Structure 1
Amino acid sequence: MRMIPVVLGLVLLAACSAGNVQTPTAVTSADAQLKALYEREWEWRQNELGKQRDDSGAWVKKASLADVSASAQQQRLAYWEAALEELNTIPVAELSDEEAINAAVFRQIIETLANNARYRTYEAPLNSDTFFWAGLHPQNGGFADAESYRRYLGRLRDLPRFFEQHSANMRAGMARGYTVPAVSLKGREESIEAYLLPGSDNPFWIPFDAFPAMLDDRQRERLQAEAREVIATQVVPAYTQLLEFMRQEYLPGARKTLAARDLPDGEAFYQSQIRGFTTLDLTAEQIHNTGLAEVQRLRAEMELILAELEYDGDMARFFHFLRTDPQFYAKTPDELMGYSAYVAKRMDGKLAEVLGFLPRRRFAINPVPPAIAPIYTGGRGGLNACLMNTYNLPARPLYTLPALTLHECAPGHALQAAISLEAPGEIPEFRAQNYFSGYGEGWGLYTEWLGGQIGIYRTPYERFGQLTYEMWRACRLVIDTGVHQFGWSREQAIAYLRDNAAMSEHEITTEVDRYISWPAQALAYKLGEMLIREKRLRAEAVLGTDFDQRYFHDTILGLRSVPLTVLASELDAWIDAGGPNPFPDMQ
């Protein structure tokens, strides 16, 4: 893989091209110093997060949960500040090209972690659809061996301490006016109720219905008996106390304001979140204006489809038609899932046109778990599966489902994650398990646009659905900055999204509450996608008939997750080198 100059903090790293263009530079003492730093920090961080290495060297969860107390968080901040000081002593001009990129990635990760600890974001460890009390058990399936079950039971016994520490942090946040806005949490505490059920009805029981064949009946019975006891004496009481805390203290005490700027040191905090999620040095005003321009551009493209359809009415009337006509909605969950699966299968037939390197790993398409579906997004994707939300089918239009499937499944997040594991070229462990929203979500949104270039969208309505989803992400730039920097109300944000994107009312309110509760996260998608499309336009102009989109995409995905500054530099160097195949040995 070629490596090129990257931005490391405020310093422009001078790095020469390598890989299949020039001979790689030799490893330097600066390389060794950097490698020792990031490997040491990674080992330490995994331990802090409640992980340990198993006999094979793989990271697994411990028999206890992480220490999330305020004192532990401040100790982590001190560690990361010291790591940044050590990073600053490394002579960046002496780094090899590979290590220059590792340094840029490492700096971005540690600066973000340190900023979050510095602003004490751990005092609000939840948002409108992601909670510290969720995701602590497998969604389906069990564990590979008895030792894994024993560690799992150990974590269940640790739940009371874990929740008590989070609650203490949240009380400290309330005391200084740092909470999630109350309006974005309405009803979210109901997701706790499933964990109050006894025995096999409790979600934590799931692994005990899916034992591996290697465990005999006696082992299974012993583990099940222990699980019943732990659920009854530790899990249910911990969640009962947590639910009482949420209903009696946190929800009534959560702030009534919305803007991040209204938080302690709010403007600086919001700017740190912008930097952390987008990996770009942009102001809220710059992003807001970019969003307004994109909304205007996309509106014009939408009007062209109305003209193509010879629709007799304005955009508002067309939106109403899309939101209410039964032809655009599935009647059963299986119909929605089948529609998505067929899009994914059609995309399988196009993958060789858009990627040179294809991974072996496959993904499933699963429904969003019922316990979180009412407050969850329309879909989400990852390495093993992409999720499609089948709750409230009249709120899940089929005309946007192809774009959603491309984004979450393939060639979006599920395929992207598989390529990250399997692509040629070794990268350090800390990079292999890292995720930058600007890079990852930028790629996901880019694949929605790409679907239109390769014929995935079969009707004007599906093409309008793709524009709706792109418009939705453009509106995020306006709404997120509007709420958190310019004081927009929730009603103003909802009206803006409703007027510009043909989404259902349920989707609109769910999404706006997510932006309110999670400052700056929503900005990453459109800014990342715009950068990728900007570089593609340059590649097409410079390379002409030599441009091969397969190699362009392989270059992006072969990098794995990097700051957008690094991605921009890499793509520019790839273009300047003539657009070569980054994986020639794989052909």
Structure 2
Amino acid sequence: MTHNTPASDASAPTPGDPPARHMTAIDAVASSYYETLLELMPNFATELGIPGHETEYQDYSPAGLEALAEAARDTLRRLDDLQPADDVDAVTLDAMRERLGLDLEIHETGLDYAELNNIACPAQNIRAIFDLMPTDTAEDWGHIAGRMANVPEAVDGYISSLRAGRERGLVAARRQVSVVVEQSTKYAEDGGFFDALGRTGSAGDVELPAPVREQLRAGADAARAAYRALASFLQDDLLPSAPEKDAVGRERYALMSRVFLGSAVDLEETYQWGVEELDRVIAEQEAVAGEIREGASIEEAMRLLDEDPARQLQGTDALQAWMQELSDRAVDAMAGVHFDIPDVMRRLECRIAPTNEGGIYYTGPSDDFSRPGRMWWSVPEGEDSFTTWKETTTVYHEGVPGHHLQVATATYQRALLNPWRRNAIWVSGQGEGWALYAERLMQELGFLSDPGDRLGMLDAQRMRAARVVFDIGVHLELEIPERWGEGTWTPEKGYDFLKRNIAISEGQLDFEYTRYLGWPGQAPSYKIGQRLWEQVRDEVRAHEGDAFDLRAFHTRALNLGSVGLDTLRRALVS
């Protein structure tokens, strides 16, 4: 693969940059590894908005996975004899050893060959990169056509890895394989994602030359054929080998929990804490329901809020406009008062995603901020009515002071952090834990004074607490708490439990349920991460006493970028 972007492009200054820190030997190793990742993962370059890789994909085959593993091994070898020059270096060294070491543990188990679930595996990622590609010029559409033409090679590599995983006895559960068959078929069908993308270029504002239009149609046809081949392979070859059982067991779960948290937690203690936290949130919900109407149950209060015309939105255009307006207000209120938000970070776009798979997510800005951070809502097919009371806290979670403030701060800190620190790490427990921490913080700061919005925040917190119970309980097959049933957890018992604790549509619930079963350890990382963030803050407050300043703590913590939660604690608690 070629890499046409010089390293200097990845570190071009943005307006208002602070003075640069001198690059150390450890920074040089980290930066070299980052450049290697851009070479091996061209779609990662697109995520960052770095030009030069617009039509390429990473090699998803076993050879490509081994190349990534060898890059990690080589980097760790180069770090062996280096000593930190300053505190920033100490965090970089800690983070690289923890993250790359876990990458190698995963590779040694072979789990990276068998990666397949309904939300975060190559089957979705190969398609999703198009959501981030520019569409402003004929050249942009030529890049889209070129990348669609390369979808078959990417899919073939992925199939090769799935075969290699099967040879090692590693195959995702039948439920996950079946869902990805449905997704792949949908991407490939007439009127599906690639068909629509192949025709969009001729219907937009850009006048495309005939050759580009032809390339788009040819690329779309190639991508559709590749996804049909993937669906056939999954259905005919992989599904017969897929186990019925969803639970992954303790050993694999403990490993994946470390990946998502950057910390090894006591799973039984955490499970029991999740049960108790769920009870606490429900009690708080009951109190807020009484504020909405005296004597109302949680369900009655939610129904009243759903029926309130002032809290209803009809259609995705109205949803998008409301998200954007609320996000803009939050940025204006936070900047310079509760958080340090440079001007270049204040632009945040809210968009409706081009898919209908469910879920709300954030994508970070390009490295030079020419493409802003974006909040995406993937609306399930057929859903056209939305309520603001549930989603006010979601906007804070995905935007400011949640993911946008967190991710964009790391991207902005080019003068302090090497590019690997800024752009190449994402630890779910640290990142999603921060976003839940931010939700509670907005309540503390008075932005959820309306009882309906506060009930929405508690509804989201209840969901995250329930996920700790469900995820650990089902995958480790633990005993069900008396309040929620009897015996040991099964997926079927877990579905009923989720239905009682997560107030979302049936389509969203089905998506979430399947996600938890296929992505063990990820869903609990939100609430566990919030717990660990709050513990770190309280430890720093206790240590600093009267000198403790919350805004300064947030600035110092966010300037670290996304690191494992043990690394975060070691960096902040002296």
Common fold by TM > 0.5: yes
Q: Which residue in the other structure is 1:312 paired with? A: 295
- Residues in 2 aligned to 1:224 and 1:538: alpha-carbon distance in whole angstroms: 59
Residue 191 of structure 1 aligns to a residue in which SS? helix
Q: Which residue in the other structure is 2:3 paired with? A: none
- Map residues 242-321 of structure 1 onto 2, 5 A cutoff: 242-251=230-239, 253-261=241-249, 267-312=250-295, 314-315=297-298, 317-318=299-300, 321=303
Q: 1:110-161 CA deviation, whole Å, 9 max, x = no partner?
A: 1232123222233333321232442142467426674x66655443333222
The alpha-carbon distance between structure 1 residues 154 and 288, as it changes in their structure 2 partners (threshold 3 A), is same
The alpha-carbon distance between structure 1 residues 355 and 523, as it changes in their structure 2 partners (threshold 3 A), is same
The alpha-carbon distance between structure 1 residues 338 and 252, as it changes in their structure 2 partners (threshold 3 A), is farther
- Map residues 55-94 of structure 1 onto 2, 5 A cutoff: 58=50, 60-61=52-53, 63-87=55-79, 89-90=80-81, 92=83
Q: Which residue in the other structure is 1:126 paired with? A: 116
User: How many residues are matched?
Assistant: 525
Structure 1 residue identity aligned to 2:359: T
The alpha-carbon distance between structure 1 residues 443 and 173, as it changes in their structure 2 partners (threshold 3 A), is same
- Map residues 248-397 of structure 1 onto 2, 5 A cutoff: 248-251=236-239, 253-261=241-249, 267-312=250-295, 314-315=297-298, 317-318=299-300, 321=303, 325=307, 329-351=312-334, 352-361=336-345, 362-369=347-354, 372-373=355-356, 375-383=357-365, 384-391=373-380, 392-393=382-383, 396-397=386-387
- Residues in 2 aligned to 1:106 and 1:137: alpha-carbon distance in whole angstroms: 30
Are the aligned partners of 2:443 and 2:449 in contact in 1 as well (CA < 8 Å)?
Answer: no
Q: Which residue in the other structure is 1:453 paired with? A: 444
The alpha-carbon distance between structure 1 residues 201 and 159, as it changes in their structure 2 partners (threshold 3 A), is closer
By how many angstroms is 1:516 displaced? Answer: 0.6
Gap regions ≥5 residues in structure 1: 1-24, 262-266, 574-587
Matched, 1:475 2:429: no
Are the aligned partners of 1:299 and 1:500 in contact in 2 as well (CA < 8 Å)?
Answer: no
Q: 1:26-45 CA deviation, whole Å, 9 max, x = no partner?
A: 99xxx52x344333322222
The alpha-carbon distance between structure 1 residues 286 and 312, as it changes in their structure 2 partners (threshold 3 A), is same
- Residues in 1 aligned to 2:211 and 2:263: alpha-carbon distance in whole angstroms: 53
Q: Which residue in the other structure is 2:432 paired with? A: 441
Are the aligned partners of 2:178 and 2:235 in contact in 1 as well (CA < 8 Å)?
Answer: no
Q: Which residue in the other structure is 1:18 paired with? A: none
Gap regions ≥5 residues in structure 2: 1-20, 366-372, 479-488
Are the aligned partners of 2:313 and 2:385 in contact in 1 as well (CA < 8 Å)?
Answer: no
Q: 1:76-120 CA deviation, whole Å, 9 max, x = no partner?
A: 334433433443x3254x543221111112112212321232222
User: Which of 223, 228, 245 matches 2:217?
Assistant: 228
Structure 2 residue identity aligned to 1:344: S
User: Which of 169, 183, 201 matches 2:175?
Assistant: 183
Q: Which shifted more, 424-433 or 535-544?
A: 535-544
Q: Which residue in the other structure is 2:135 paired with? A: 142
Q: Which residue in the other structure is 1:520 paired with? A: 521
Matched, 1:551 2:543: no
Matched, 1:464 2:465: no
By how many angstroms is 1:75 displaced? Answer: 4.1
By how many angstroms is 1:365 displaced? Answer: 0.9
By how many angstroms is 1:394 displaced? Answer: 7.3
User: Which of 394, 413, 418 matches 2:408?
Assistant: 418
- Residues in 1 aligned to 2:209 and 2:89: alpha-carbon distance in whole angstroms: 48
- Residues in 2 aligned to 1:98 and 1:171: alpha-carbon distance in whole angstroms: 42
Q: Which shifted more, 320-329 or 429-438?
A: 320-329
Are the aligned partners of 1:142 and 1:211 in contact in 2 as well (CA < 8 Å)?
Answer: no
The alpha-carbon distance between structure 1 residues 242 and 143, as it changes in their structure 2 partners (threshold 3 A), is farther
Q: Which shifted more, 464-473 or 348-357?
A: 348-357
By how many angstroms is 1:445 displaced? Answer: 1.0
Are the aligned partners of 2:448 and 2:454 in contact in 1 as well (CA < 8 Å)?
Answer: yes
By how many angstroms is 1:49 displaced? Answer: 1.5
Q: Which residue in the other structure is 2:107 paired with? A: 117
Are the aligned partners of 1:194 and 1:203 in contact in 2 as well (CA < 8 Å)?
Answer: no
What is the TM-score when the length of structure 2 is the normalising length? Answer: 0.81
The alpha-carbon distance between structure 1 residues 310 and 150, as it changes in their structure 2 partners (threshold 3 A), is closer
By how many angstroms is 1:200 displaced? Answer: 8.9
Are the aligned partners of 2:430 and 2:562 in contact in 1 as well (CA < 8 Å)?
Answer: yes
- Residues in 2 aligned to 1:114 and 1:417: alpha-carbon distance in whole angstroms: 25
What is the TM-score when the length of structure 1 is the normalising length? Answer: 0.79
By how many angstroms is 1:479 displaced? Answer: 1.4
Q: Which shifted more, 452-461 or 102-111?
A: 452-461
Matched, 1:170 2:154: no
Are the aligned partners of 2:126 and 2:151 in contact in 1 as well (CA < 8 Å)?
Answer: no
User: Which of 182, 185, 202 matches 2:196?
Assistant: 202
- Residues in 2 aligned to 1:139 and 1:37: alpha-carbon distance in whole angstroms: 29
- Residues in 1 aligned to 2:138 and 2:506: alpha-carbon distance in whole angstroms: 46
By how many angstroms is 1:438 displaced? Answer: 1.7
Structure 2 residue identity aligned to 1:452: Q
Q: 1:496-528 CA deviation, whole Å, 9 max, x = no partner?
A: 223334344433332121111111111221122
The alpha-carbon distance between structure 1 residues 495 and 447, as it changes in their structure 2 partners (threshold 3 A), is same
Residue 457 of structure 1 aligns to a residue in which SS? coil
The alpha-carbon distance between structure 1 residues 320 and 551, as it changes in their structure 2 partners (threshold 3 A), is closer
Structure 2 residue identity aligned to 1:368: A
Residue 121 of structure 1 aligns to a residue in which SS? coil
The root-mean-square deviation of aligned C-alpha atoms, in Å, is 3.4
By how many angstroms is 1:274 displaced? Answer: 1.0
The alpha-carbon distance between structure 1 residues 505 and 224, as it changes in their structure 2 partners (threshold 3 A), is closer
Residue 366 of structure 1 aligns to a residue in which SS? strand
By how many angstroms is 1:382 displaced? Answer: 3.6
- Residues in 2 aligned to 1:342 and 1:63: alpha-carbon distance in whole angstroms: 35
- Residues in 2 aligned to 1:348 and 1:395: alpha-carbon distance in whole angstroms: 26
Are the aligned partners of 1:142 and 1:210 in contact in 2 as well (CA < 8 Å)?
Answer: no
The alpha-carbon distance between structure 1 residues 71 and 339, as it changes in their structure 2 partners (threshold 3 A), is closer
Q: 1:454-492 CA deviation, whole Å, 9 max, x = no partner?
A: 222242121111111112112222211112222632222
The alpha-carbon distance between structure 1 residues 332 and 43, as it changes in their structure 2 partners (threshold 3 A), is closer
Structure 1 residue identity aligned to 2:337: E
- Residues in 2 aligned to 1:151 and 1:393: alpha-carbon distance in whole angstroms: 33
